[in-house]
Chains A and B, each alone.
Chain A
Amino acid sequence: MQSMEAGSQGDLDAFDRHVGADGKVEPQDWMPAAYAKTLVRQISQHAHSEIIGMQPEGNWISRAPSLRRKVILMAKVQDEAGHGLYLYSAAETLGVSRDELEQQLLDGTAKYSSIFNYPTLTWADVGAIGWLVDGAAIVNQIPICRCSYGPYARAMVRICKEESFHQRQGFELMMALSKGTDAQKRMAQDALNRWWWPSVMMFGPPDGESVHSMQNMAWRIKLFSNDELRQKFIDMTVKQAEALGLTIPDPDLRFDEASGHWQVGEIDWDEFWSVVKGHGPCNRQRLAHRRDAHEAGAWVREAAVAFAAKERARSARKAA
């Protein structure tokens, strides 16, 4: 990878012009070190989110209440693992190794989406995650399909194509509950109550407080601001909640005629920052789970490497 060579001011200007005109950047092209660094951070955070995101839903696979729901959930969690891999693969084109990225996740220096630090307490949470969390993720991800970095954009195209079923299955699950028994309806409403605000916060802090926003938009790594995307999600979801017959847990929610948008009440950013800083209900549990899997698998990874070396030696002996 040649991206880390310092470039001249001319290189920088040419890069900005190219990217500004919606030009694409490929792994071997010259790119500013800060661009590569930002991409590695963003793509790997995204990958880690997919991998950690397997846990809250995976939690219910063994108890899924019908075989149809069970296979749907398994296929969805499996997709998340796949999406994590597509993204690690995109990050690796920037010269960072998967081992390094995984290590950053395990030692807690890398971030992942805070939403996965909330617990899944009932079966309805599986529906709420599909409907709300995947719904928010899709709003976030569709623009990234057009981002400036080729491998990231291509990974996102694949991911968005596969994720369209994730949101639908979540909505369908919520629909089954909200049309079901009273206990099921209560379960669905309770899940919406707990997942609504964390989902709204998934788009990150308000534009004014978002640290990297301006530069990332100039580089076309980010195409819309946090608040723009959040608004899109809110407008879309309010109508869906109505169709489900569920109530969004916000007494201040109102339709603003002037702007044509739904406005939510005050967002509790203190909670957001507290979860980001590691004090969410499940931060420790999620990381411990990941570390356990990694450590328990060490002997398997070692054995496969040892066997591959033996095989190479054997075929070399045969050839000699």
Chain B
Amino acid sequence: MATDQTWPLFEVFIRSKKGLSHVHAGSLHAADAKMALENARDVYTRRGEGSSIWVVPSAEITASAPADKGELYDPADNKVYRHPTFYKVPDDVEFI
């Protein structure tokens, strides 16, 4: 029931401090991106949680479908050689 008063939905990502990634915080409504950024600042960083904000129109996000979970992620499960624990080294060898 979008009306002429409906503001689109934006997803909000916040970097809590330099050195960390932006993390999804939630969503909000805004008429434009500038407003979304300001709303995000007021809604999601009232306690100094943010040092950088991204806002993305929710409609612009392409997400993987849960039904594809098997073909997308399972193949990675049987490639144990990608993990360091797969390899045996003698106990007395250091820094490896």
Contacts and interface: CB of A to CB of B under 8 A. Distances in A.
Direct A–B contact present (CB less than 8 angstroms): yes
Interface of A: 2, 26, 28-30, 75, 78-79, 82, 85-86, 89-90, 92-93, 97-100, 103, 154-155, 158, 162, 298, 301-302, 304-308, 311
B29 A98 contact: yes
B26 A86 contact: yes
Contacts of B66: 2, 26, 28-30
Interface residues of B, number: 22
Interface of B: 1-7, 9, 26-29, 31-32, 35, 43, 46-47, 63, 65-67
Nearest to B49: A158
Contacts of A103: 1
B26 A89 contact: yes
Contacts of A79: 46
A82 B47 CA distance: 12
Contacts of B5: 298, 301-302, 305
Nearest to B5: A301
Nearest to A79: B46
Contact of A305 (B27, B28, B31): B31
A155 B28 CA distance: 13
Contacts of B26: 85-86, 89-90, 154-155, 158
18 contacts: A28-B63, A29-B66, A89-B28, A97-B1, A97-B2, A98-B29, A99-B1, A99-B2, A158-B26, A162-B47, A298-B5, A301-B6, A302-B4, A304-B32, A304-B35, A305-B4, A305-B6, A307-B31
Contact of B27 (A29, A78, A89, A100): A89
A15 to B, nearest CB: 12
Given A162-B47, A305-B31, A308-B32, 4 more contacts: A28-B63, A305-B4, A306-B4, A307-B32
A85 B31 contact: no
Contacts of B63: 28
Contacts of A154: 26
Nearest to A28: B66
B46 A85 contact: no
A85 B3 contact: no
A298 B5 CA distance: 7
A152 to B, nearest CB: 11
Contacts of A98: 9, 29
Contacts of B1: 97, 99-100, 103
